[in-house]
């Protein structure tokens, strides 16, 4: 496995680049906007293809690199389903898998620091975001934080992992880079409590000042969505209500860009062809399925995904290679469901 721990000294943020091999797919966890060029340089040096950019939660101390990485690499942006961010390509829930070629991370909902905090687990390590830090825990006094929830996330979920599990947090301010579950059980001062009430008392009396970047970072991080209005202004979008009249027509090919786990969980629009976003480029290239479908028929290609971000990128990419019939459902399955569109499970 390729694994790199990257540090932003201004915000004390750790970002993590993972891949299963050189030349393969990669994902990055908790990227910082100011470090995007460094990430892309490293991705290029290691001959990787960045396919997913993930935030463990809505950050208050730095502006996320999710949007910039998406715009530069067309990667999928990923957060938990509770996020207040306007649009991310994929939203995860407890028990899901966060996957790329050769790697699958278990998704654990670990609220408490914020109400959208998640941790991601590999067999030998866990990425804990701000939930569990090295010799500390994330504050719980803003963004719908809750010390009781955090106690359960830590004691009920994270500390149940094997003691030798490596802990890689999203932040450290003392120069620590890694710990283990066993070490934190033994030496983390906030975990040496005898009850949830004792933990709550500690967390409610930290009296910390707000992060310096909070007033800037939180609003910025809530607006990471691709501007789908740009696609609509070119006439390349249909609303969910308009799409209702198109489904089933012989001159329309409906293309589902989501991953199989999303289809199983949220349902499928009847008659859709499943062609995951990760394979888009090969499908729209000369000789690819969608390229040939568009060339040999008069069908309109109607893309959709979860929230419209992947499908908007797909439309632009298809138009760029001359597939002029490409359109997408603005707002994705989320908008389709709100319009009472039929779904098959």
Note every long-range contact of 198-207, with CB atoms under 8 Å and residues 24 or more positions apart, other chains counting. Answer: 199/147, 199/150, 199/151, 200/147, 200/148, 200/151, 202/147, 203/137, 203/139, 203/140, 203/141, 203/147, 203/150, 204/140, 204/141, 204/147, 206/139, 206/141
pLDDT at 291: 93
d(CA 194, CA 132): 18
Which CATH superfamily, name and number, covers 2-222? Ribonuclease Z/Hydroxyacylglutathione hydrolase-like (3.60.15.10)
98-136: pLDDT as tens digits? 999 999 999 999 999 999 999 999 999 999 999 999 999
Judge contact between 113 and 170, C-beta under 8 A: no
Query: To the nearest whole percent, how much of the chain has pLDDT over 70?
Result: 100
Mean pLDDT over all residues of the chain?
Answer: 96
343 pLDDT more than 90: yes
Domain boundaries, the chain: 2-222, 228-339
d(CA 211, CA 130): 13
Establish how many alpha carbons lie within 13 A of residue 103's alpha carbon, considering only the half-sphere containing its beta carbon: 25
pLDDT at 209: 87
Hey, what CATH class is 228-339 in? Answer: alpha beta
226 pLDDT more than 90: no
- According to DSSP, the β-strands at 118-122 and 103-109 are antiparallel
Whether pTM exceeds 0.85: yes
Mean pLDDT of 259-272: 95
CA-wise closest residue to 77 among 223, 242, 248, 271: 223
pLDDT at 16: 98
d(CA 301, CA 254): 6
Return the axis-axis angle of helices 66-73 and 36-45, rounded to nearest 10°. 40
DSSP state of 213: T
pLDDT at 142: 86
């Amino acid at each position: 496995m390729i694994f790199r721990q990257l540090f932003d000294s201004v915000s004390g943020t750790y970002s993590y680049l993972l891949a299963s091999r050189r030349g393969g797919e990669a994902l990055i966890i908790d990227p910082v906007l100011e470090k995007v060029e460094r990430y892309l340089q490293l991705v290029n040096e290691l001959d990787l293809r960045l396919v997913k950019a993930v935030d463990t939660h809505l950050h208050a101390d730095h502006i996320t690199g999710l949007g910039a990485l998406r715009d530069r690499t067309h990667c999928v942006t990923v957060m938990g389903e509770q996020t207040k961010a306007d649009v991310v390509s994929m939203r995860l829930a407890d028990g899901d898998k966060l996957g790329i070629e050769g790697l699958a991370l278990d998704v654990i909902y670990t609220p408490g620091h914020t109400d959208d905090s998640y941790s991601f687990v590999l067999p030998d390590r866990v990425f804990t975001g701000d939930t569990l830090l090295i010799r500390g825990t994330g504050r719980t006094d803003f963004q719908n934080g809750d010390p009781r929830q955090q106690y359960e996330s830590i004691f009920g979920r994270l500390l149940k992992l094997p003691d030798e599990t490596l802990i890689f947090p999203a932040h450290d301010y003392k120069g620590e880079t890694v710990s283990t579950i066993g070490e934190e059980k033994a030496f983390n001062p906030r975990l040496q409590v005898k009850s949830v009430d004792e933990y709550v008392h500690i967390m409610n009396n930290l009296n910390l000042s707000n992060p310096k970047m909070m007033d800037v970072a939180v609003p910025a991080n809530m607006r990471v969505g691709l501007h789908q209005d740009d696609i609509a202004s070119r006439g390349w979008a249909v609303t969910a209500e308009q799409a209702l009249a198109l489904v089933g027509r012989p001159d329309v090919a409906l293309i589902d860009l989501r991953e199989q786990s999303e289809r199983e969980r949220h349902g499928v629009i009847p008659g859709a062809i499943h062609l995951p976003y990760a394979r888009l480029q090969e499908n729209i290239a000369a000789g690819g399925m969608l390229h040939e479908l568009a060339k040999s028929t008069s069908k309109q290609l109607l893309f959709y995904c979860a929230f419209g971000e992947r499908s908007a990128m797909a439309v632009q990419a298809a138009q760029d290679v001359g597939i002029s019939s490409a359109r997408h459902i603005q707002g994705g399955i989320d908008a389709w469901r709100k319009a009472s569109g039929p779904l098959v499970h």
